[in-house]
Each structure stands twice: as structure tokens, then as C-alpha cells.
Amino acid sequence: MSGLEIERKFLVRGNDYKQQATSYSHIRQGYISSGHGRTVRVRQRDQQAFLTIKGPSLDGGLSRYEFEKEITTDEAAQLFRLCEPGIIDKTRYLVPSPDGHHTFEVDEFHGDNDGLVMAEVELGDPDEPFTKPEFIGEEVTGDRRYYNSHLRIYPYRQWQ
């Protein structure tokens, strides 16, 4: 998969998303390179693995170019050895929007980012309307503190 990724990010209130989720998975991801808004990431999601390259954010963090390729879990294990310090560990819940037109990816972070829960919705166009579930809180699109590549260096637990 490659192309322009358009997404909006939100903080999550409460834990109603767990009851509304249609599925969930465990994600572990590391960064081979991150800087100047560009990242090269390796991710293992349950028994699948991916290598992802992302370009700098556009539109105040709303969109960015993304290239993603599925790799084997053995390749991912080798690539994790090349990663910069700090691994992101999270559980992802897939929650349909109230109108059923979109899916919210709700990430519950673990480890040094324990206590942080964020939701993302991918859109086809920056102005595309969508219906928010009730658990959606403050929008944090474009706030670099909430980028996974930033959370690995400055974990949520250290923010106070």
C-alpha cells in the first residue's frame, strides 16, 4: 500500500470503545529512522509484520505520504535490532463510527505510555465529514507530542 494518508487523531474518554470494538490486536513497533518529519518504521501486529515509510506531515499534520509493505515476522525480528531506542507497545481496537461509514482505530498504550488512549480515523479527503462516537475527546491532529515516533522518546508517563 502506498499513497497519501489522511487521518485525524483524538484523545479518548472512558473505555466504552472496548464494548463497541469489532476486533482488537496487539501491536509492537519500532523506528529504524525518525527525523525531520520522516519515519521508517517496523511493526508487528499479531502474526503480521510491516515495514512503513512515512513522509513529512502536510496540512498541519492532517495528511502525509505513506508507503507500506508486508514483511515476514522473521524479517521484522531482524529489523527490530536496528531500531532506535524506545519501542511502542499498544493494543488497537477497531470501532465502527455510529453511522457505520468509518472505522476508528483506538490505541491503548502500554509500558512507558500507559494511560494514553488515542483514536484515529482515516479519511479519503481532508474535508470528508464523519460521525464521532461518544468516547471521542479533544482533537490532537498535528500535535507532535502524540506521534508514536515522539512517544518513544518522550513517553506519556514523563509529561508531568
Question: What is the per-residue pLDDT across 17-48, written as a single tens digit (0 to 9) for each?
Answer: 999 999 999 999 999 999 888 999 999 999 99
Give yes or no for residue 137 having a pLDDT over 60: yes
User: By C-alpha distance, which of 37, 44, 42 is closest to 52?
Assistant: 42
Q: Which residue type, as a one-letter code, is found at position 147?
A: Y
pLDDT tens profile 82-124: 999 999 999 999 999 999 999 999 999 999 999 999 999 999 9
Average pLDDT over residues 55-59: 85
pLDDT > 60? residue 1: no
Annotated catalytic residue 31: yes
Pairing assessment for the beta strands 88-96 and 136-139 based on DSSP bridges: unpaired
Average pLDDT, the chain: 95
For 70, other C-beta atoms within 10 Å of its C-beta total 11
The CA radius of gyration of the chain, in Å to the nearest whole number, is 15
How many whole angstroms separate alpha carbon 38 and alpha carbon 125? 22
Q: Name residues whose C-beta falls within 8 Å of residue 29's C-beta, 6 or more positions apart in sequence.
A: 41, 42, 43, 44, 87, 88, 148
Is pLDDT of 157 > 60? yes
What backbone phi and psi angles, to 5 degrees, belong to 96?
A: -70, 145
- Please pick, among 17, 24, 31, 147, the residue that the annotation labels catalytic: 31
